[in-house]
Amino acid sequence: MCDMDPIVELARQHDILVVEDVCQAMLAGYKGRIAGGVGDIGCFSFDAGKLLPTDNGGMAISDDADVIAAIRKFAVDRGADDLGPLGREHNGIGFNYRFGDMESAVGLAQLKILPDQLKRRVDLAERFTAKIADIEGVITPQVPEGQVHLHWLYPLQFDLKQFRVDASQMGEALSAEGLMCSPAMYYLIPHSHKFLPDREADLERLVNARTHLERTVRWGFTEKYTERDVDDMAAIVAKVTDAYRR
């Protein structure tokens, strides 16, 4: 998770609501609280690739009744106020993003198995991290104190000075060995949002993000791996990094 306390504090100073994007962090933990319950609004996606899939759809939560009423009006009631039995007045822009009963039923069933799945996922990710931690030039993800991280994707980073290839070539070699992964540069907004103005200036400015992403490959981690899969993946990382070490 982001370090939420300073974000919330800054927002409070300026009277801004904090909207948490929890799409890949359902039940992630921050200082004893869970993702989506730290800011003012938590937004979730339940699409097929997320931690809790219902096939499609999503959810927004808040403990502020006015915020919930505004979300409902905009996203469910097509911009209408309820005027009692079967009456309504459309007085704003709104949509019909209703979440169906079938998806809801699937979601409730998924919610029951989610904690066990997440525990398995975290155990396997920690096993993998421990196996690759001593490989020269590999930078493993660090989970800050007081946080529960769920490893939706596994980001593997390289100290590129130690290797003869860049992260993209490293990713190709790992994939050829069976660990299907891809570079992470897409996450740099100017790369993925090509319609934005001043993209070149942003690329110059975003030094930390660029450094971080340039050395990263990632893939969708899953609780469906076996221990053997995780050990095989660690062996592939060792083999490929050895082959390309300076």
Ligand X SMILES: *Cc1c(COP(=O)(O)O)cnc(C)c1O
Q: Which of 2, 18, 19, 21 binds ligand X (CB under 6 A)?
A: 21
Contact 42, 60 (CB under 8 A): yes
* Amino acid found at 61: I
Tell me whether residue 48 or residue 93 sits nearer to ligand X (CB atom). 48
Which part of the chain contacts ligand X (CB under 6 A), choosing from 19-27, 71-79, 201-209, 229-237? 19-27
Residues numbered 137 to 166 that lie near ligand X (CB under 6 A) are: none
The verdict on 40 binding ligand X (CB under 6 A) reads no
- Measured on CA atoms in the order 80, 81, 84, 88, is the torsion positive or negative? negative
The verdict on 58 binding ligand X (CB under 6 A) reads yes
Which part of the chain contacts ligand X (CB under 6 A), choosing from 20-28, 33-41, 106-114, 193-201? 20-28
The verdict on 45 binding ligand X (CB under 6 A) reads yes
Record the tokens describing residue 199, joined without a space: 């993209």
Give me the DSSP letters along 143-167: PPTTEE---SEEEEEE-GGGBSS-H
The verdict on 110 binding ligand X (CB under 6 A) reads no
User: In angstroms, what is the minimal distance from the CB of 97 to ligand X?
Assistant: 10
The angle that helices 227-244 and 167-176 make with each other, rounded to 10 degrees, is: 130
Element (H, E) at 182: strand 182-183
Burial class (CB in 10 A: 0-12, 13-18, 19+), 40: middle
The verdict on 129 binding ligand X (CB under 6 A) reads no
Q: Which of 24, 206, 44 is nearest to 2 (CA)?
A: 24
The verdict on 53 binding ligand X (CB under 6 A) reads no
The verdict on 1 binding ligand X (CB under 6 A) reads no
Residues that contact ligand X, how many (by CB under 6 A): 6
The verdict on 23 binding ligand X (CB under 6 A) reads yes
User: In angstroms, what is the minimal distance from the CB of 117 to ligand X?
Assistant: 17
In the complex, which residues of this chain contact ligand X (CB under 6 A)? Answer: 21, 23-24, 45, 47, 58
